[in-house]
Structure 1
Amino acid sequence: MLKKRFIALALASTLFGGQALAADYVIDKEGQHAFVNFKISHLGFSWLYGTFKDFDGTFSFDADKPEASKVKVNLQTASVDSNHAERDKHLRSPDFLNVAAHPTATFESTSVKSTGKNTADIAGNLTLNGVTKPIVIAAHFLGEGKDPWGGYRAGFEGNTTLKLKDFAIEKDLGPASQTVELILSIEGVRQ
């Protein structure tokens, strides 16, 4: 019996190369430890900030093999909040997010490339306003560890800049407002 266990352990070690496997995480939106924020220039004079309040997603991560990581996020576009009800109504309209026709935006990673200590470029496909385009998120690993409730967490921040016209947002806001920056803060709970 002991010999069979030893052989099974040796076989498992050979198959998995003795390396830790990536862990799966669920983004902690319920605890409000995850945010999808944005900023866009207002006429070149100031910044308009906003957030999306309703999204969910998962990621897999192994600090020893960040290139094997994967990310998938679903975002409800009607949850846009710029702290101004009339502006939010306009952002939901066909001029911008067209939430009636495209209620969900999605991001799914296609590759992760380490760019330095605790940093990586996450490439993937973003579908927004009915258009799918490749984007790259510059990500920074913030840390991981046990939480006070018996779970295990990992956290990241990241950002990317999108051209509005790339996602069929044709409303002309002036030359200073052709792009929007997404600012992400993501904490996940290991499953």
Structure 2
Amino acid sequence: MKKLLVAASLAALMTLPAKAAEYVIDTEGAHAFIQFKISHLGYSWLYGRFNTFSGDFNYDASNLTASKIQLTIDTNSVDSNHTERDNHLRSADFLNVSVHPTATFVSTKIVPKADDAFDLHGNLTLNGVTKEVVIAAEKLGEGTDPWGGYRAGFAGTTTLALKDFAIKTDLGPASATVQLDLTVEGIRK
């Protein structure tokens, strides 16, 4: 009888819906990336990334619209694999890191789409300007890791107009926007 009650209890627990969980973004294990791509005069692509950032998210697979994310980016960590260019990107011509050492993103709404895709709406503060942006995102997967933890991973992309964030340096019409690509893997707390 005890075995039957234990089995019934376990079966009931397994059918309960998943609840929201808190995750910290795994930047220490290099399992998260914020990368960018911008046209170089319309002739080629310039790629770069931000090496230092942190954040966390709340994820509920059964109620995606209740999920949230926040990120803080160290703008001084911009890295395009070219020291002179990186120093220029840190200057007042672009990111103005001496005045605005961080950029932040705080989600405001999630709109589910087909399969594991969704639109992530939020406020991006960059170069002292806050604008609403929409990140086209998707869930990549979730599950137990080899170290006994639990992880969930997502990727997304958005395009920003430089002038929207008070970046007045004119790089020509082909370089008026920058594409941001984000990949986050979170470890459940």
Partner of 1:87: 85
In structure 2, C-alpha distance between the alignment counterparts of 1:174 and 1:152, rounded to whole Å: 46
Q: Which of 169, 175, 185 is matched with 1:177 structurally? A: 175
Per-residue CA deviation, residues 79-114 of structure 1 (Å, 9 max, x unaligned), is: 000000000000000000000000000000000010
In structure 2, C-alpha distance between the alignment counterparts of 1:24 and 1:117, rounded to whole Å: 22
Partner of 2:53: 55
Equivalent position SS for 1:59 = strand
What amino acid is the match of 1:54? T
Q: What is the count of residue pairs matched by the alignment?
A: 174
Partner of 2:160: 162
Alignment of 1:91-106 (within 5 A): 91-106=89-104
Partner of 2:8: none
1:114 equivalenced with 2:112 (yes/no)? yes
Equivalent position SS for 2:93 = coil
* RMSD (Å), alpha carbons: 0.7
What amino acid is the match of 1:172? D
Q: What TM-score does the superposition give when structure 2 sets the normalisation length?
A: 0.91
CA shift for structure 1 position 20? 3.0
Partner of 2:124: 126
Partner of 1:21: 19
Q: Which consecutive aligned stretches of 4+ in structure 1 deviate over 4 angstroms post-superposition?
A: none
What amino acid is the match of 2:109? S
Q: Retained in 1: the 8 A contact 2:95–2:167?
A: yes
Structure 1 residue runs of 5 or longer lacking an equivalent are 1-17
CA shift for structure 1 position 143? 0.3
Partner of 2:188: 190
What is the percentage of aligned positions where both structures have the same residue?
64
CA shift for structure 1 position 116? 1.1
Structure 2 residue runs of 5 or longer lacking an equivalent are 1-15
In structure 2, C-alpha distance between the alignment counterparts of 1:83 and 1:93, rounded to whole Å: 16
Q: Which of 31, 34, 37 is matched with 1:36 structurally? A: 34
Q: Retained in 1: the 8 A contact 2:123–2:132?
A: yes
Equivalent position SS for 2:164 = helix
CA shift for structure 1 position 62? 1.4
